[in-house]
């Protein structure tokens, strides 16, 4: 089973651990039963070993420290409290299973070895005891190998009794039968020498064997006292000392019994042997008392220092986990995060490292406690491992804090880059928003719109765009391709909007100016047409032509009407041409409007000319009439004068009368 995290989902990873626990539990359950024979035990042992090897749970990684979990813990970045608690539970369960697996392996190994020793001892003892049955002359018995068989017999009994406990009912019954048979044969062998000198030898050998067993156990207990013990294992060591103390009491009782039995042995020819044996018994007794004192002293000392040891060891796992979490927080470079993630990460980091002082002081306190304990603990208690672990934790915390400070500096720089980018982005977006508002603003006062447009676009600050682009380029160092792509897209979008607005601004200004000119020209044409219609109506009503002419002349001759309108048209034409040069697609309505106004202007000028002609004709006709009226007035005066002379009572002569008539005829002729 691959237990490496490798960036997989936390839930999937915990499922792997759960499956592993179930597999280990199932394997232990299969092994934890009564066995038929050695072959079955060897098969189960091989299966257990293969399972541990297959699952990569060898002693160095799983059985001792479960470092595969600790290692993968460091890969968890966003491990919530629930998942963290669950994984710690799995780790604790695996540690307990570790103990069970070790016990099971030991049990299977001991069972297999016991079967081997049992079968071997049974074969040897059975053969030897069968041979001893044929002895008839006990005077020629060789006891030189007796102690060897005696030791083998004790080993056989020990193995048989152990196998009876771990074997199934059928095998246990068979072992019991063999055990009874061998012991019965052994008893029969010993009974042959009853009431003989050899019986005393056998008793001596039995006492000597018992003494050897006592001394062997004493040697083991002495080795226990001299064994190098890790300070973290003092609880277990205390349990071993308690068991050893009980064993010493049992050995003491056995030694007294051996001593009494040895005193009853009557071997006058072996006095030297007996004396040596007695000296050994006394020496063993002294040694038991001495070791009992040492064991008692060790127990007392360990009981006194155990609370301090527990205080030092307690919480170290929390220290390690705190360091792992801290490493997770500072192992990522700032260019792996976007702005929101940086803010969240800084908050998490601040919350975590608020506990730095607590953990740092606690480690120093534990080191001082351990230093104080060194003078109190037994010499075989090794404090180096714990001391090195505490020093390592202290160094890790110090290094972690150094990393954190460097990390904070880097993140603040990165945060500054993001803040600057956001600030420049906001500034550019604000400019674009203002530009868009100006572009889409509606108002009947085109002069107002033109003035506002010019005030905004004639003073464009190019630095707004360049600063934005520079701030974005500084973030291209990001390792997160998604963030880089988003920044790049935003830069391209806003730069595109800027350029589009800038490129369309002149076109909009042209359109505004055209619309303003169109409005002004329309107004001029409307008012001119209205005035022309009034003049035509006045002429039709035979109003005073001179007054009409005077108004007409003031409006269309002496004023700047024609230059103004022609100027409007010229400027409008210029706008149309510029729009055509720029290939503006939606310029058709402007061209149509220009053509329409140009046509209106032509029509109006023709109408003005027509009105001018009609006024001039009316004025010319008036001049003729006035001239004729003057002649008529002169004619009437002459007629009146002539008539008066004609009808005067002082009649002229006929010749004068004739001249007067001729004169009147001329006058009338000239009139008509």
DSSP state letters, 609-647: HHHHHHHHHHHHHHHHHHHHHHHHHHHHHHHHHHHHHHT
Q: Mean pLDDT for the chain?
A: 78
- Gap between the Cα atoms of 507 and 579, Å rounded: 7
pLDDT above 80 for 489: yes
- For range 103-107, the mean pLDDT: 85
pLDDT attached to residue 312: 83
pLDDT (average), residues 56-85: 54
- Most confident of the ranges 3-7, 208-212, 595-599: 595-599
The pLDDT of residue 211 is 72
- Out of 606, 622, 638, a domain closes at 622
**pLDDT tens digits, residue range 207-252?**
667 777 777 888 888 888 888 888 877 888 888 888 888 877 877 7
The pLDDT tens digits for 325-381 are 777 777 766 666 666 777 777 777 788 788 888 888 888 888 888 888 888 888 888
Examine the pLDDT at 43 and tell me if it is beyond 80. yes
CA 67 – CA 64 distance, rounded (Å): 8
**Higher-pLDDT residue of 71, 580:** 580
Strand partners for 332: none
582/219 Cα distance (integer angstroms): 109
For position 225, which CATH number holds?
1.20.58
Instruction: Look at residue 166 in the predicted model and tell me its pLDDT.
Output: 87
Residue 67, pLDDT > 50, answer no
H or E element in which residue 105 lies: helix 81-133
Total residue length of the chain: 672
d(Cα 156, Cα 129) in Å, to the nearest integer?
14
Top pLDDT among 568 and 335 is at 568
CB contact at 8 A, 337 and 415:
no
Mean pLDDT of 493-515: 82
Q: Which residues pair with 229 in a beta bridge?
A: 381
Comparing 267 with 535, the larger pLDDT belongs to 535
Q: Count the Cβ atoms, other than its own, within 10 Å of residue 232.
A: 16
Using left for φ > 0, alpha for ψ between -120 and 50, and beta otherwise, residue 199 falls in: alpha
Q: Answer whether residue 592 is part of any domain.
A: yes
Could you tell me if 218 and 355 lie in one domain? Answer: no
Q: Is 2 in a helix, a strand, or coil?
A: coil
Write out the H or E segment, with its range, that includes residue 515: helix 481-540
pLDDT for the residue numbered 69: 53
Domain-located, residue 655? no
Please indicate whether residue 491 or residue 338 has the higher confidence score (pLDDT). 491
Whether 469 is in a domain gets the answer yes
Give the separation between CA 283 and CA 289, rounded to whole angstroms: 10
Residue 72: what pLDDT? 55
Q: Is the dihedral of CA 242, 245, 246, 247 positive or negative?
A: positive
Domain end, chosen from 312, 339, 359, is at 312
**How far, in Å, CA of 418 to CA of 409, rounded?**
14
Burial of 99 (0-12, 13-18, 19+ CB in 10 A): exposed
Q: Does position 600 have pLDDT exceeding 80, yes or no?
A: yes
CA–centroid distance for 292 within its chain = 61
* Distances 126 to 52, 117, 156, 183, 460 between C-alpha atoms, Å: 40, 14, 11, 10, 114
Q: What pLDDT, on a 0 to 100 scale, did the predictor assign at position 242?
A: 85
- pLDDT beyond 70 at 266: no
Q: Which residues pair with 575 in a beta bridge?
A: none
| pLDDT tens-digit map of 20-39 | 888 888 888 888 778 778 88
Average pLDDT over residues 410-436: 85
Question: Between 481-540 and 446-457, two packed helices, what is the crossing angle to 10 degrees?
Answer: 150
Lowest mean per-residue pLDDT among 181-195, 254-268, 576-590: 254-268
Domain co-membership, 44 together with 179:
yes
Q: How far apart are the first and last CA of the chain?
A: 140
Whether 181 has a pLDDT exceeding 80, the answer reads: yes
User: 18 and 89 share a domain?
Assistant: yes
In this structure, are 188 and 205 located in the same domain? no
What pLDDT shows up at residue 65?
Answer: 41
Residue 90 pLDDT exceeds 80? no
Residues 421 and 512 in one domain: no
Asked whether residue 135 carries a pLDDT value surpassing 70, the answer given is no
Please, which residues have CB within 8 angstroms of residue 152's CB and are 6 or more apart in sequence?
121, 124, 125
Mean pLDDT in residue range 440-462: 80
Q: How confident is the model at residue 85 (pLDDT cuts 50, 70, 90)?
A: confident
Range of 348's domain? Answer: 328-479
Residue 492 neighbours by CB distance under 10 Å: 11
pLDDT at 3: 53
Is 167 contained in some domain? yes
> Over 269-286, what HEC string results?
HHHHHHHHHHHHHHHHHH
User: Is 102 in the same domain as 210?
Assistant: no
3-state secondary structure 293-362: HHHHHHHHHHHHHHHHHHHHHCCHHHHHHHHHHHHHHHCCCHHHCCHHHHHHHHHHHHHHHCCHHHHHHH
Residue 668 resides in a domain: no
- Spell out the residues 6+ positions from residue 114 whose beta carbon is closer than 8 angstroms to its own: 159, 162, 163
486 located within any domain: no
Contacts of 146 (CB under 8 A, 6+ apart): 202, 205
* pTM of model > 0.85: no
Tell me if 393 is assigned to some domain: yes
pLDDT at residue 526 tops 50: yes
Do residues 274 and 205 lie in contact, with contact meaning Cβ atoms separated by under 8 Å? no
SS3 assignment, position 651: coil
Other beta carbons within 10 angstroms of residue 107's beta carbon come to 17
Asked if 101 contacts 63 with a C-beta cutoff of 8 angstroms, the reply is yes
**pLDDT reading at 317 higher than 60:** yes
* Predicted confidence band of residue 315 (pLDDT cuts 50, 70, 90): confident
Rounded CA gap, 3 and 10, in Å? 12
User: Taking the alpha carbons of 197, 201, 206, 211 in that order, is the dihedral positive or negative?
Assistant: positive
pLDDT above 70 covers a percentage of the chain that reads 79
Provide the number of structural domains found in the chain: 4
For residues 289 and 208, membership in a common domain is answered with yes
User: Per-residue DSSP letters for 149-217?
Assistant: HHHHHHHHHHHHHHHHHHB-HHHHHHHHHHHHHHHHHHHHHHHTTTTSHHHHHHHHHHHHHHHHHHHHH
DSSP 35: B
Rounded to an integer, the average pLDDT of 71-98 is 68
Do 473 and 400 reside in the same domain of the chain? Answer: yes
User: Residue 7: helix, strand or coil by DSSP?
Assistant: coil
**Same domain as 532, residue 464:** no
230 forms beta bridges with 382
Q: What is the pLDDT of residue 426?
A: 92
Kindly report each contact of residues 97-106 with a partner whose C-beta sits within 8 Å and lies 24 or more positions away, as own/partner: 97/21, 97/24, 97/25, 97/28, 98/62, 98/63, 98/64, 98/66, 100/28, 101/24, 101/28, 101/48, 101/52, 101/63, 102/63, 104/28, 104/31, 104/32, 104/48, 105/45, 105/48, 105/49
* pLDDT of 205 strictly over 70: no
Whether 485 is covered by a domain: the verdict is no
The span from the CA of 389 to the CA of 383, in Å, is 10
| Residues contacting 604, CB < 8 A, separation 6+ | 525, 528, 529, 532
Alpha helices in 380-445 (DSSP H): 384-440
Statement to judge: residues 333 and 464 lie in one domain: yes
For residue range 629-665, what is the model confidence (pLDDT) as tens digits?
Answer: 676 677 677 777 766 665 554 555 667 666 766 776 6
Residues 121 and 168 reside in one and the same domain = yes
**DSSP secondary structure letter of residue 230:** E
Distance, in Å, from the CA atom of 532 to the CA atom of 342, rounded to the nearest integer, reads 77
Nearest to 93 by CA among 156, 155, 20, 145: 20
Same domain, 172 and 203: no
Candidates 494, 505, 489, 433; CA nearest to 468 is: 494
Name the residue with higher pLDDT: 261 or 602: 602
Looking at 449, 479, 509, the residue that finishes a domain is 479
Q: How confident is the model at residue 507 (pLDDT cuts 50, 70, 90)?
A: confident
**DSSP state letters, 437-482:** HHHH---S-HHHHHHHHHHHHTT--THHHHHHHHHHHGGGG-S-HH
């Amino acid at each position: 089973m691959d237990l490496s995290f490798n960036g997989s989902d936390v839930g999937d990873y915990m499922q792997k651990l759960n499956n592993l626990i179930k597999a280990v539990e199932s394997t232990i359950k299969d092994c934890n039963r009564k066995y038929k024979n050695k072959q079955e035990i060897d098969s189960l042992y091989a299966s257990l070993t293969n399972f541990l090897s297959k699952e990569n749970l060898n002693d160095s990684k799983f059985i001792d420290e479960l470092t595969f979990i600790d290692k993968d813990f460091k890969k968890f970045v966003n491990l919530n409290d629930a998942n963290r608690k669950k994984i710690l539970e799995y780790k604790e369960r695996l540690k307990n299973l570790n103990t069970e697996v070790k016990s099971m392996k030991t049990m299977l190994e001991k069972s297999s070895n016991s079967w081997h020793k049992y079968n071997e001892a049974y074969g040897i003892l059975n053969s030897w005891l069968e041979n001893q049955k044929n002895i008839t002359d006990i005077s020629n018995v060789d006891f030189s190998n007796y102690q060897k068989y005696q030791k083998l017999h004790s080993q056989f009994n020990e193995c048989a009794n152990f196998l009876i406990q771990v074997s199934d009912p059928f095998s246990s019954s068979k072992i019991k039968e063999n055990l009874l048979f061998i012991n019965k044969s052994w008893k029969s062998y010993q009974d042959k020498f009853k009431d003989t000198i050899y019986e005393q030898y056998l008793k001596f050998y039995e006492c000597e064997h018992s003494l050897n067993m006592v001394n062997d156990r004493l040697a083991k207990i002495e080795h226990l006292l001299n064994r190098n013990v890790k300070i973290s294992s003092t609880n277990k060591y205390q349990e071993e000392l308690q068991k050893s103390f009980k064993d010493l009491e049992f050995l003491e009782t056995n030694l007294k019994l051996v001593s009494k039995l040895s005193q009853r042995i009557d071997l006058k020819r072996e006095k030297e042997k007996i004396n040596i044996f007695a000296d050994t018994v006394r020496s063993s007794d002294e040694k038991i008392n001495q070791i009992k004192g040492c064991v008692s002293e060790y127990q007392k000392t360990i009981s006194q220092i155990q609370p301090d040891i527990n205080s030092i060891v307690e919480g170290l796992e929390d220290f390690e986990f705190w360091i792992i979490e801290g490493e997770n927080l500072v192992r990522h470079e700032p260019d792996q995060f976007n702005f929101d993630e940086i803010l969240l990460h800084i908050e998490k980091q601040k919350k975590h490292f608020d506990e730095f002082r607590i953990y740092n002081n606690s480690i120093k306190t534990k080191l001082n406690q351990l230093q104080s304990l060194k003078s109190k603990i037994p010499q075989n208690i090794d404090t180096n491992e714990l001391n090195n672990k505490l020093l390592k934790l202290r160094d890790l915390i110090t290094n972690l804090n150094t990393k954190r400070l460097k990390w904070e500096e880097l993140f603040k720089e990165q945060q500054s880059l993001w803040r600057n980018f956001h600030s420049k982005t906001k500034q550019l977006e604000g400019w674009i928003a203002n530009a868009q508002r100006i572009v889409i603003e509606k108002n009947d006062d085109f002069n107002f719109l033109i003035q506002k447009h010019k005030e905004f676009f004639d003073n464009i600050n190019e630095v707004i765009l360049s600063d934005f682009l520079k701030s974005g380029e500084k973030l291209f160092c990001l390792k997160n391709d998604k963030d880089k792509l988003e920044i790049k897209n935003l830069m391209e979008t806003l730069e595109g909007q800027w350029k589009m607005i800038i490129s369309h601004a002149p076109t909009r200004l042209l359109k505004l100016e055209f619309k303003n000119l169109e409005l002004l020209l329309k107004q001029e044409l409307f008012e001119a047409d209205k005035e022309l219609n009034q003049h035509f109506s006045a002429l039709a009503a035979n109003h005073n032509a001179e007054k009409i002419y005077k108004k007409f002349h003031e409006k269309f001759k002496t004023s700047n009407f024609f230059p103004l309108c022609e100027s409007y048209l010229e400027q409008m034409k210029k706008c149309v041409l510029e729009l055509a040069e720029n290939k503006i697609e939606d310029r058709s309505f402007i061209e149509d409007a220009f053509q329409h106004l140009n046509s209106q202007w032509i029509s109006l000028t023709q109408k003005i000319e027509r009105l001018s002609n009609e006024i001039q004709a009316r004025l010319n006709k008036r001049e003729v009439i006035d001239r004729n009226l003057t002649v008529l007035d002169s004619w009437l005066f002459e007629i009146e004068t002539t008539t008066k002379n004609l009808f005067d009572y002082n009649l002229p002569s006929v010749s004068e009368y004739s001249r007067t008539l001729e004169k009147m005829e001329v006058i009338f002729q000239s009139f008509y």
